[in-house]
Structure 1
Amino acid sequence: MACLREYLNQANQLLGTEYKEPKVIYKSKGSIAGSAVLNHWEIQLNITMLYENGKNFIDEVVPHELAHLITFQSYGKVKPHGKEWQYVMSEIMKKQPKVTHNFIFKRFEYVYICDCQEHYLSPIRHNKIRKNKTSYQCRKCGTILKLKNFV
């Protein structure tokens, strides 16, 4: 929260605005580090990645998501990582406008096989297969993926 407040104060000073502190929600699944809910003035952070990556996560993700909120307030609906967001990131947040993260996170994957290789599916995809709601096929050989049996 201290990092968020620091960047918010910096933005308010440079832009001559009085943006309030956004609501912060912690979520625990997926590979998305964070997201900005534009219409609700809210930032969602991946609590697992935050825990596993600490200060590096805070220093990168918090200003990134705050920049999305500020960009939306300042320019309206624009491209998510377009020139307006890049301006806010570089000139207001004083951060490199980086689009993706390189954080390490632990997530369980299920091993599936086809006729040519192994595939690693997320728990969500695995559960969809188990409930007979869908199937996935290999992009190379075209065969339907089957759960690998470990003996």
Structure 2
Amino acid sequence: MQQQTLFRHLNMQVQRKVNACLALAEKHFQRTFPIPEIHYRVRGLKAGVAYLEKNSLGFNRTLMLENSDEFITQVVPHEVAHLVVYQVFGRVKPHGEEWRGVMGELFGLTPHTCHRFNLESVRGQTFAYRCNCRVHHLSLRRHHNIQRRNMRYICRECQGELVPCSPNKN
């Protein structure tokens, strides 16, 4: 029951942070912004997602509960900035100069494109694949794409194709 109480408290903080960010944007851009719908159905490694056309924000409940302070101060404004940028500038690069401007100049935050949360509690099963330079741990989805759909993944560093690591035969 304590986790449910914490979630309700954090949900109220998220709502307040969204409203505060939108108030800053309204003052700066001299226009109103509609209040977005908020849900907590984001899964996996993502902390949050902005659904631009739907004016909706999705957040990862588990990561919010585990990282509440940084989540409220960084992730929520990050996603609100995406909505503001879309409504003011239209479709632009997701973390381009417009988004960086809203994050830095308007919200007063360093415009990080990724969170740095511990992901152990949300990481699913992984599969070891190797390239020419190292071992990669692929998600179940990517593993199935390789096994069932004959998809290929290439290492960004060495450009080598990822191949399954041989299981130990000891």
Bin of the TM-score, shorter chain as denominator length? 0.7 to 0.9
**Structure 2: unaligned runs, 5 residues or longer:** 1-14
Q: Please give the alpha-carbon distance, in whole angstroms, between the structure 2 residues aligned to 1:134 and 1:66.
A: 38
Structure 2 residue aligned with 1:145:
164
Structure 2 residue aligned with 1:83:
97
Q: Which one-letter code corresponds to 1:124 in the other structure? A: R
TM-score by length of structure 1 reads 0.78
Q: Please give the alpha-carbon distance, in whole angstroms, between the structure 2 residues aligned to 1:114 and 1:90.
A: 39
Question: Cα offset for 1:147?
Answer: 7.3
Among 100, 104, 109, the residue aligned to 2:125: 109
Indicate how the Cα distance of structure 1 residues 122 and 12 shifts in structure 2: closer, same or farther if over 3 A, else same: same
Q: Which one-letter code corresponds to 1:145 in the other structure? A: P
Q: Which one-letter code corresponds to 1:99 in the other structure? A: T
Indicate how the Cα distance of structure 1 residues 78 and 28 shifts in structure 2: closer, same or farther if over 3 A, else same: closer
Aligned residue pairs total 150
Among 128, 134, 141, the residue aligned to 1:124: 141
Among 1, 5, 15, the residue aligned to 2:29: 15
Would you say the 8 A contact 2:129–2:138 is kept in 1? no
Would you say the 8 A contact 1:86–1:97 is kept in 2? yes
**Structure 1: unaligned runs, 5 residues or longer:** none
Q: Which moved more, 1:138-147 or 1:83-92?
A: 138-147
Question: Cα offset for 1:69?
Answer: 0.8
Q: Which one-letter code corresponds to 1:26 in the other structure? A: Y
Q: Please give the alpha-carbon distance, in whole angstroms, between the structure 2 residues aligned to 1:83 and 1:138.
A: 29
Would you say the 8 A contact 1:52–1:105 is kept in 2? no
Q: Which one-letter code corresponds to 1:6 in the other structure? A: A
Would you say the 8 A contact 2:124–2:139 is kept in 1? yes
Matched, 1:2 2:16: yes
Structure 2 residue aligned with 1:71:
85
Would you say the 8 A contact 1:136–1:145 is kept in 2? no
Q: Please give the alpha-carbon distance, in whole angstroms, between the structure 1 residues aligned to 2:26 and 2:48.
A: 22
